[in-house]
């Protein structure tokens, strides 16, 4: 589930008969639970809203899911290969990596 740019990870506790989860793309801890999909969705939305209100009350910026910057460390040889591949595609390294990694991520998510 996604809400206001935040992503939820859900699990099931069969013994307790509940669905529970947490926001996975920030450092702060935001959790929620419910007995049905509708309840857990509402709880997720409420928890994100509460988190954003709490940050505002404290005068702090809420943790943002992603900055759009992805530092990458690799070997000099891999760096050379990436450069050549980007040049052959008439793209910058960033544009080429964004395209290639985006396709790989989409394929991985579909599995």
Tell me the pLDDT tens digit for each residue of 43-78.
Answer: 999 999 999 999 999 999 999 887 778 889 999 999
Structural domain for 87, as ranges:
76-110
Domain assignment present for residue 67? The answer is: no
3-state secondary structure of 80: helix
**Does residue 88 lie within any of the structural domains?**
yes
- Domain total in the chain: 2
Same domain flag for 52 and 93: no
Cα-to-chain-centroid distance, residue 33: 19
* Closest of 4, 49, 3, 8 to residue 25, by C-alpha: 8
Rg (C-alpha) for the chain, rounded Å, is 19
> Which tens digit of pLDDT belongs to each residue from 80-111?
999 999 999 999 999 999 999 999 999 999 88
- Say if 65 falls within a structural domain: no
Answer yes or no: is pLDDT of 8 > 80.
yes
In a domain, 28, yes or no: yes
Structural domain contains residue 63: no
Q: What is the DSSP letter of 2?
A: E
Whether 103 is covered by a domain: the verdict is yes
Q: Is 18 part of any domain?
A: yes
């Amino acid at each position: 589930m996604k809400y206001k740019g935040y992503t939820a990870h859900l699990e099931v506790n069969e013994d307790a008969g509940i669905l529970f989860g947490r926001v996975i793309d920030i450092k702060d801890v935001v959790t929620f639970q419910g007995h049905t999909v509708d309840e857990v969705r509402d709880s997720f939305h409420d928890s994100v809203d509460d988190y954003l209100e709490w940050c505002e009350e404290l005068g702090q910026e809420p943790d943002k899911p992603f900055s759009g910057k992805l530092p990458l460390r690799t070997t000099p040889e891999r760096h050379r290969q990436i450069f050549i591949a980007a040049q052959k595609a008439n793209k910058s390294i960033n544009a080429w990596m964004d395209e290639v990694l985006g396709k790989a991520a989409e394929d991985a998510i579909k599995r």
